[in-house]
Chain A
């Protein structure tokens, strides 16, 4: 299982949880695990084409998956997947 860290703007869709455990062998599967447990997160993470929305940054541990293998990036037990949208509050 990997730990998915949920940003504040998505916590309404995860029942307020800041972290969710999800299974999967790669980042895409882990995020699909999240969206099947919390379906309201789906449209905010994925576009109609099934790709990650461009405005959502996803990190495996501390590295942006865009510089790894994207949704195909392998995930091991105990890894952390961070979902990070831009914030503009000042």
Chain B
């Protein structure tokens, strides 16, 4: 292809069918010189996005080899022509601009990678997600297809549910048998003053429906117990533990290990919070971390000891972050790690959590457990509820 004397020479322009032939032949660096939202709607397969304003910063990453054949395109051919001139000035030796841009390409019936699967409303609503390369349209579709169960629609569940709903998690199950109380409203931001006395699952559903019609809310207005937990958990991909009592936390752990469901677990009290992600058999479980629950005097509840309202938001959103990473399959979830947050000192501490080889639930010698024994301890009555 034409390289020749680069200086003061016009940028080479090629027709879409020529570009298509070259691309098919391989050894071509293909650069999309449009804005991210345009790229997201439709782009050429293999096209790397380098917006015009970021060309100087990003071209070296997208096209590290200045001697390689580099084809640029945009919407109609103007921006790519200017960008090609810039690349020439930067020392790129073999640059071409595709005449007519992606419009001409599509007019000739050549294929593009289009944002399929999302409606125009969804493309708009989730554009700040789909712009992220780690999420994209595929990731957003994963979220819309995900089923997440929130155990507790209270302090932790309220902010977690709000943000997961806004993010477009397609199915949100809510487990809570309580009604909204005035004392909840200092932290349970999914409810409001008019909803005092309304079941929490219903109040949360109303807020979520107003926020995002894409989300289907499934109300489980019950208290989890050994007789119902296996059936309920079975419907979901990821479980979020925001329970306010130890019996539910151990029950949830035991059932989720058996069903191999990941659990994002957090707890809050006064100015302190803890969070970890338990993926059965990949990392430790809740019982590996806490083999036995503390006695009642060491297990105070938020209703007895108080909790700073923002703790629910801080830890709840860290839970939502873990859920999204698990759904998207990106990043490093808190598997085998316990993160502590202390609000007064604004300090995060990370501790290691190991699988316990003697764990009665996920250890190699763990026995089969009958349904009615899920979540049980010999000294069950010592648990502090609420």
Using a CB–CB distance below 8 Å, which chain A residues touch chain B?
Answer: 5, 7-9, 18, 44, 54-57, 59, 62-64, 67, 82, 84-90
- Cβ contacts under 8 Å, A88 to chain B: 243-246, 249, 267, 293, 299, 301, 384
- Distance in angstroms between the alpha carbons of A63 and B289 in the assembled complex: 12
11 contacts between A and B (CB under 8 A): A7-B272, A8-B272, A9-B269, A44-B297, A84-B274, A84-B338, A87-B268, A87-B274, A88-B246, A89-B268, A89-B307
Partner of B267, one of A56, A67, A87: A87
CA distance A64 to B297 in the complex (A): 23
Bound together, the chains give a CA A8 to CA B340 distance in angstroms of: 12
The interface residues of chain A lying within 8 Å CB-to-CB of B291 are 54-55
Q: Which residue of A lies closest to B268 (CB)?
A: A89
Residues on the A chain within 8 Å of B340, using CB: 84
**Of all chain B residues, which has the CB nearest A10?**
B298
In the bound complex, what is the Cα–Cα distance between A5 and B345 (angstroms)?
12
**B242: chain A residues within 8 A (beta carbon):** 90
In the complex, what distance in Å separates the CA atom of A51 from the CA atom of B336? 25
Once the chains bind, are B354 and A67 in contact (CB under 8 Å)? yes
A10 to chain B, nearest CB (A): 8
From residue 96 to 126 of chain B, which have CB atoms closer than 8 A to chain A?
Answer: none
Q: Which residues of A contact B345 (CB under 8 A)?
A: 18
**Contact of B298 with A8 in the complex, beta carbons under 8 Å:** no
Please determine whether A90 and B267 come into contact, CB atoms closer than 8 angstroms. Answer: yes
- In the complex, which residues of chain B have a beta carbon less than 8 angstroms from the beta carbon of A63? 351-352
* In contact, B300 and A9 (Cβ under 8 angstroms): yes
Q: Which residue of B lies closest to A63 (CB)?
A: B352
Complex interface: chain A residues within 8 A of B293 (CB): 55, 86, 88
- CB neighbours of B157 from chain A (8 A): 90
Query: Judging by beta carbons under 8 Å apart, are A57 and B243 in contact?
Result: no
User: Known: A64-B352, A88-B246, A88-B267. Is A54-B292 also a contact (CB below 8 A)?
Assistant: yes
A63 to B350, CA, bound (A): 10
Instruction: List, in ascending order, chain A residues with CB within 8 A of B295's CB.
Output: 55
Please determine whether A62 and B350 come into contact, CB atoms closer than 8 angstroms: yes
Quick check: A90 and B155 within 8 Å, CB to CB? yes
| B255 proximal to A (CB < 8 A) | no
Question: Which A residues are CB-close (under 8 A) to B152?
Answer: 90
**Is A90 a contact partner of B294 (Cβ separation < 8 A)?**
no
Q: How distant is A56 from chain B, measured CB to nearest CB, in Å?
A: 8
B151-173 contacts to A, CB under 8 A, are 152, 154-157
